[in-house]
Amino acid sequence: MLLNGDGHTWVVMDYRGKTKEPSIVYIDVEEEVEFQIARSFSEFIEGLQAEEMVIVDEDEIEITDDMDMPEMEEITKEQAEHIFKTSNDEAEIIRTITNIDIDEEDINWMLDQLTLLLDRNNSEGVAERIAGYLLVHSYLRGMMDDTKYSLLMNKLKALPYTDLPYKLEMIEESE
Compute the average pLDDT of residues 98-111. Answer: 90
Record the pTM: 0.60
Quick check: 51 pLDDT over 70?
A: no
Quick check: 100 pLDDT over 80?
A: yes
Q: How many whole angstroms separate alpha carbon 139 and alpha carbon 62? A: 37
**Residue 126 CB neighbours (<10 A):** 20
Quick check: 53 pLDDT over 70?
A: no
160 Cα distance to chain centroid: 18
Which pLDDT value is given to residue 67? 45
Which pLDDT value is given to residue 52? 53
Q: How many whole angstroms separate alpha carbon 21 and alpha carbon 38? A: 11
158 Cα distance to chain centroid: 19
- Closest by CA to 126, choosing from 169, 100, 171, 164, is 164
Quick check: 68 pLDDT over 70?
A: no
What does the pLDDT look like over 130-163, one tens digit per residue? Answer: 999 998 888 899 999 999 999 999 999 999 998 8
Quick check: 63 pLDDT over 60?
A: no
Fill in the DSSP letter of residue 59.
T
Quick check: 70 pLDDT over 60?
A: no
Q: What is the mean pLDDT of the chain?
A: 81
